[in-house]
Amino acid sequence: MTHLTLLLLIVSALGDVIGGAAAQTKDVDRTDLRGQNSSADRLRGAWYSWDPYQYRDYRRDVPILTGFDIEIERALERLIGMEILLPEIPWQDQLTGIADGKIDIASGAVYSDARNAYAYFSKPYRTETDVLILRKGAGVRYPFRTVEGMLDTFAKEKFRLGVIAGYIYADPRISTFIADPANKDQIFPVAGDAQNLRNLLAGLIDGFLADRIAATTTAWRRDQGSLIEEHPLRFTADVHFMLSRATQTPQMVAQLDNAIDELKRSGEFRRIADFYALPVLIHQTLDSEGFRILVLLGTVAFALSGIVLAYSGQYTFFGALILAALPAVGGGVVRDLVLQREPLGIVRDPAALLTVFGTVLAGMIAIKSFSFIGAGFAKRLASGAHLGTRFIEIFDAVALAAFTVVGVIVALDTTAHPLWLWGPIAAVLTASFGGLMRDLFRHDRVLANLRGELYPEIAAVWGLALALFFEWEGARLQTDEIRLAVIVTLVGAFLTRVIAIARGTKGWSFV
């Protein structure tokens, strides 16, 4: 049995072990509530488009109702022993339904005295942070730092403000401003954040207020995150379930409160947060030009190392492509196979594969051109056959850092649990397993990735640190903290690798 065959068998076995780890809830919208009455085993609820809390996910062209709040409701169903019906109803109509008893329960609600007159409120099950969303670069025009300053600016400048109809924002002064008839001409109510975003980019409004996670998710899904920015002012409120006073009782509220406590005590609440809210925040953090450049540099560095080895071994162009592609994208392919990710990363975004092809082509042209200079160039190039020049080694360290982060994020995306175990495994696979496959392909007896300098250990240690942080952050969902953790991981893995190169530090061994 060859090394490569054995390697593929190991990958297949690992995939089978965690086959159930990425299982996701699949369901369809439930029936409309019109004409239905409340019953002892059923609650009439509703949903509206509010990604990532409530939304339709189209997997293989099948609409699946899902989201943070939806999955919390489904978990509560099991605990309270009652089915919650969930047709699509606009938020404003949900409030009317709660008031007149046609709807029993609504999620994602902020408390107000007006709502308390017709609805019971559960204990908080999460918090939300509201922000003002502006067009990119417009923030410098609005230097206010308090809610009073913001509302004063809105009034003086006739700021055209987008809001969600019926929505109560985290600070009650904002709701008072929106309800004031004097401000009617500058308030633009719509059904959801997607319409607010379209209005902003079309110049119909100057900005809109939104839940921070929902607004950035809406822009990220549409690849429009670079067109908007958040004003630095933040205001936070607790989020509850509402129960209609016309059909429900305080005993039902107490039962719901107990179920919320059980969700948090059992860890199921954190699991739902990890799957629906945390990955979105992390992807928004990574969806930046700077991080994409780091990944590009790392991919090029891995490809260059393959080119150097191909030149020294006198491989063909196709052989050079293999040697360049294995460290650059091979580890990611193995990771996706192990975690059963669909589709594979290089299938959903072939940019990395195209980068490898372009790098190899450019490298071959450069080598052919410089070969006319003399034998001195060939001698210098051959002497750097392991990783190339120190310049390439620095890029390689960048790749290690970036791919370590990517590996943990993919493990989080696929809901592989526990994250503290599969996060570092995915980091090691992404950052170093491709190099191992390259060495097996070359029949390299040294296998530098396993018996050489400190390398996969760096991905494992920093991947574990990031995974543990995400485990802790799941119940907090603080974007700034997530961004800082990613930066610390990138810098830490990079510096660790640079120090290992400078000192010639070897990986941990049995001798």
The answer to whether the beta carbons of residues 253 and 74 sit under 8 Å apart is no
Mean pLDDT lowest for which of 39-48, 153-162, 275-284, 320-329? Answer: 275-284
The answer to whether the beta carbons of residues 213 and 108 sit under 8 Å apart is no
The answer to whether the beta carbons of residues 397 and 500 sit under 8 Å apart is no
Residue 276 DSSP one-character state: H
pLDDT digits (tens, 9 = 90+) for 173-228: 999 999 999 999 999 999 999 999 999 999 999 999 999 889 988 988 887 888 99
DSSP letters, 142-198, are ----SHHHHHHHHHHHT--EEEETT---SSHHHHHHHH-GGGGGGEEEESSHHHHHH
**Residues, the chain, total?**
511
The answer to whether the beta carbons of residues 110 and 168 sit under 8 Å apart is yes
Tell whether the model's pLDDT for residue 30 goes beyond 80: no
Specify whether the backbone of 253 is left (phi greater than 0), alpha (psi in -120 to 50) or beta: alpha
What confidence score (pLDDT) does residue 95 get?
96
Nearest to 281 by CA among 66, 439, 475, 495: 475
pLDDT, average across residues 243-263: 96
The answer to whether the beta carbons of residues 79 and 68 sit under 8 Å apart is no
Q: How many CB atoms lie within 10 A of CB 185?
A: 9
User: In whole angstroms, what is the distance from residue 55 CA to residue 48 CA?
Assistant: 7
Mean pLDDT (the chain, rounded): 82
Q: What are phi and psi of 229, to 5 degrees?
A: -150, 160
Q: Which residue has the higher pLDDT, 446 or 229?
A: 229
Specify the 3-state DSSP secondary structure of 397: helix
Mean pLDDT lowest for which of 54-58, 74-78, 456-460, 475-479? Answer: 475-479
183-185-191-196 Cα dihedral, nearest 10 degrees? -100
Whether cis (ω within 30° of 0) applies to the bond prior to 343 is: yes
Tell whether the model's pLDDT for residue 313 goes beyond 60: yes
The answer to whether the beta carbons of residues 507 and 454 sit under 8 Å apart is yes
pLDDT digits (tens, 9 = 90+) for 392-419: 677 778 888 888 988 988 887 777 878 8
Bridge partners, 135 (sequence order): 228
pLDDT, average across residues 110-117: 94
13 contacts: CB under 8 Å, gap ≥ 6: none
Pairing between β-strand 207-211 and β-strand 126-135 as defined by DSSP bridges: antiparallel
User: In whole angstroms, what is the distance from residue 276 CA to residue 55 CA?
Assistant: 11
**Residue 242 pLDDT grade (very low, low, confident, very high; cuts 50, 70, 90):** very high
User: In 18-87, where does DSSP find H-type helix?
Assistant: 68-80
pLDDT, average across residues 1-11: 46
442 contacts: CB under 8 Å, gap ≥ 6: 309, 313, 323
Domains of the chain, earliest start first:
24-126+238-267 (3.40.190.10), 127-236 (3.40.190.10), 281-503 (no CATH)
Tell whether the model's pLDDT for residue 33 goes beyond 60: no
User: In whole angstroms, what is the distance from residue 300 CA to residue 392 CA?
Assistant: 9
pTM for this entry:
0.67
What confidence score (pLDDT) does residue 226 get?
81
List of long-range contacts for 495-504, beta carbons under 8 Å, 24+ apart: 496/454, 496/458, 496/461, 496/462, 497/396, 497/397, 497/400, 497/401, 497/454, 497/455, 497/458, 498/394, 498/397, 500/453, 500/454, 500/455, 500/458, 501/390, 501/393, 501/397, 501/453, 504/453
Rg, Å, the chain Cα set: 27
User: In whole angstroms, what is the distance from residue 301 CA to residue 305 CA?
Assistant: 6
Nearest to 132 by CA among 226, 193, 207: 207
Q: How far apart are the first and last CA of the chain?
A: 28
The helix, strand and coil proportions of the chain, stated in percent and rounded to the nearest 5, come to: 60, 15, 30
| Chain centroid to CA 195 | 23
